[in-house]
Amino acid sequence: MSFDKADIQRRMNGAVEVLTKEFAGLRTGRASVSLLDPVTVEVYGTRMPLNQIGTVNVPEPRLISVQVWDNSNVRAVEKAIREAGLGLNPQIEGTLLRIPIPDLNEERRAELSKIAGKYAEAARVSVRNVRRDGMDALKKMEKDGQISEDDHKKKADEVQKMTDETVKKIDKMLSDKEKEIMTV
């Protein structure tokens, strides 16, 4: 087991990237292409991401359109969007699906805030696990005589600093997302 500061930083940044993607999928009152990222469609005997079956656009702030490339997939795309648990109701016009984004009520906003909080907590836990792995590696290296006690302390402080900065970034992302969700 060796200590790699760059790897620890990369893994912590990975937790932040995952959180960014999860936050992008959380619906606020505005339409966004990333809203449909989690949708997969059953076509040609396999599940495919929506963006591989059609073009997703946001022509208006409260409307998403999906231009399905193959006419035979329109119904499957509509069904996948309805069943994705996003509370969206697509309307079919030929090969074009129009998806109006409904207003968020107060209850739904509170629910989304809670979900955002859970995502952020999962990211914090992930970062702490990376921190623990780094600290364990340092302890083992000191025990095996690969680094001195002073080096161990110095590197442990660096890992803690990276952890604190990453958690601070996660907290800021959460507060920004909550503000966005609660904005009417």
What does DSSP say about strands 96-100 and 91-93: parallel, antiparallel, or unpaired? antiparallel
Select from 3.30.470.20, 1.10.3720.10, 3.30.360.10, 3.30.1360.40 the CATH code of 30-100: 3.30.1360.40
Cα–Cα dist 12/131, whole Å = 8
Which pTM does this prediction carry?
0.66
Q: pLDDT at residue 113 above 80?
A: yes
Q: pLDDT at residue 1 above 60?
A: no
Domain ranges of the chain: 5-24+105-182, 30-100
Read off the pLDDT of residues 50-68 as tens digits, 9 standing for 90 and up: 888 899 898 888 888 999 8
C-alpha count within 13 angstroms, C-beta hemisphere, residue 51: 8
In the predicted model, what is the mean pLDDT of the chain? Answer: 87
Give the percent of the chain with pLDDT over 70: 97
Cα–Cα dist 27/32, whole Å = 8
Task: Enter the tokens of residue 2.
Answer: 């060796």
C-alpha count within 13 angstroms, C-beta hemisphere, residue 92: 14
Q: Categorize the per-residue pLDDT at 139 as very low, low, confident or very high, splitting at 50, 70 and 90.
A: very high
pLDDT of the residue at 164: 96
The CATH code for residues 5-24+105-182 is 1.10.132.20
